[in-house]
Amino acid sequence: MDLDMELGDYPKQFAYEDLQLLTDNFDVRNVIGRTQFCKVYRGKIPQGWNEMQEQDVTVKIWADTVKMKGELILKPAVAHNVFRFFDEITFLTYPRISGHPNLAKLMGYLHDEDHFGVVYDLKSLDTVRNFIAEGTFTWMGRIKVIFQLARLLESLHGQTPQYLVRNFSATHIMVDQDLNPVLIEFGMLTGGMIGMKDRGLPLYPFGAYGYTDPVLRMLGIWTDRTDVFTFGVVLLELLCKCAVDGIGCRENSTVPNFLYRVAQEIYDTVKSRCFYEKSRILSLVHRSFRTQAGYDTDDGLKLAKLAMKCVQMDDERPSMGEVVEHLKTLHAIRNYAELLLLGP
């Protein structure tokens, strides 16, 4: 594929030296984090460079295609990543997709014999993963992120044919300066106008680490309910202020005790009793939120129960459309939608 001929003048084509300039030679201080396939940096376009205005950007470079500061990255799946790179460019420049506010806006790309990278028009605050435990990430800010992410997945699943993200995770979602969530990782995206993509699954058969859907592991079949499961895990992370693998390991075990498993144990214990134990379910919501502006106990309860519905077995999970409708019943959404800058 001749990418330059296909795209014309937009998005802009960058050279590797350009990305070095934007990131101060990939300085470690500009590293935001790693996605499943890439390394992500904060960048800045200098005033007047290439007749451009000064602007904060986000730079993502495929991690197995380059040595960064002498760090040798192994290359087990370079060929697969070439296709992932092309698919991302095609997806993000597709007219029906490119304007979505919660998808990264592509400013330019890097494509030469040795490197693949993209530059997003995005002033990143941090990833949701890095921001989860921060006290400045308030209850209302989390409601905003949750609702926008739900509508993003609803939109992708509602396309014909539908898109499946398949590695949706808190690490792959950036938060901008206004607390809008932006999806930046598309390496396992399938469906829609890019077609069904099963290549590379022997290397990454179950999506992002810590978000493995038990149904997928058993049946090996991807559905929209797999994305619902991973959304439920992200929702739990935001409610608990705890990363998916932040629980540690079980006693006398080296196997990570992932967040959703602990939550399921709590929730299943409550469901098995003859009486309703509201406080036990609310234990899934971090106690620090209770004194924050906009917090409502019924909202906390609804969100905890919704998260658990999303991570139950496949036939019990709601669709993302049903998730969005459920979220619209929250006190915070009904009363503060304008404050949260949420559309209808």
Q: pLDDT tens digits for 275-304?
A: 456 666 777 899 999 999 999 999 999 999
Closest CA to 32 of 147, 99, 124: 124
CA angle, residues 194, 196, 202, in degrees to nearest 5? 120
219-230 pLDDT per residue, tens:
888 899 999 999
Closest CA to 150 of 125, 105, 196, 181: 181
Predicted confidence at residue 257, as pLDDT, reads 59
Predicted confidence at residue 289, as pLDDT, reads 95
Query: Could you give the CA distance from residue 264 to residue 273 in angstroms, rounded to a whole number?
Result: 14
What number of other Cβ atoms are within 10 A of residue 327's Cβ?
21
Q: Please report, rounded to a whole number, the percentage of residues in the chain having pLDDT higher than 70.
A: 78
Third-level CATH fold of 126-196+207-248+255-341: Transferase(Phosphotransferase); domain 1 (1.10.510)
Query: Could you give the CA distance from residue 182 to residue 189 in angstroms, rounded to a whole number?
Result: 15
Q: What is the mean pLDDT of residues 131-138?
A: 92
Q: Comparing 45-54, 205-214, 238-247, 250-259, which segment has the lowest mean pLDDT?
A: 250-259
190-216 pLDDT per residue, tens:
999 888 876 444 445 567 778 888 888
Predicted confidence at residue 71, as pLDDT, reads 46
Backbone phi, psi, residue 321, to 5°: -60, -40
Predicted confidence at residue 254, as pLDDT, reads 42
- Measure the N-to-C terminal CA separation of the chain; round to a whole number of Å: 40
Q: Please report, rounded to a whole number, the percentage of residues in the chain having pLDDT higher than 90.
A: 56
Predicted confidence at residue 336, as pLDDT, reads 83
Q: How confident is the model at residue 120 (pLDDT cuts 50, 70, 90)?
A: very high
Tell me the average pLDDT of the chain. Answer: 84
47-80 pLDDT per residue, tens:
888 888 899 999 999 875 444 444 444 444 566 7
DSSP code string of 124-160: EEEEHHHHTT-TTS-HHHHHHHHHHHHHHHHHHHTSS
Residues in a beta bridge with 33: 40
Predicted confidence at residue 13, as pLDDT, reads 93
Q: Which residue has the higher pLDDT, 184 or 1?
A: 184
165-175 pLDDT per residue, tens:
999 999 999 99
Q: How confident is the model at residue 341 (pLDDT cuts 50, 70, 90)?
A: low
Q: Does residue 14 surpass a pLDDT of 60?
A: yes
Predicted confidence at residue 50, as pLDDT, reads 81
Q: Does residue 129 surpass a pLDDT of 90?
A: yes
CATH number of 13-121: 3.30.200.20
> Structural domain boundaries of the chain?
13-121, 126-196+207-248+255-341
90-116 pLDDT per residue, tens:
999 999 888 899 999 999 999 987 888
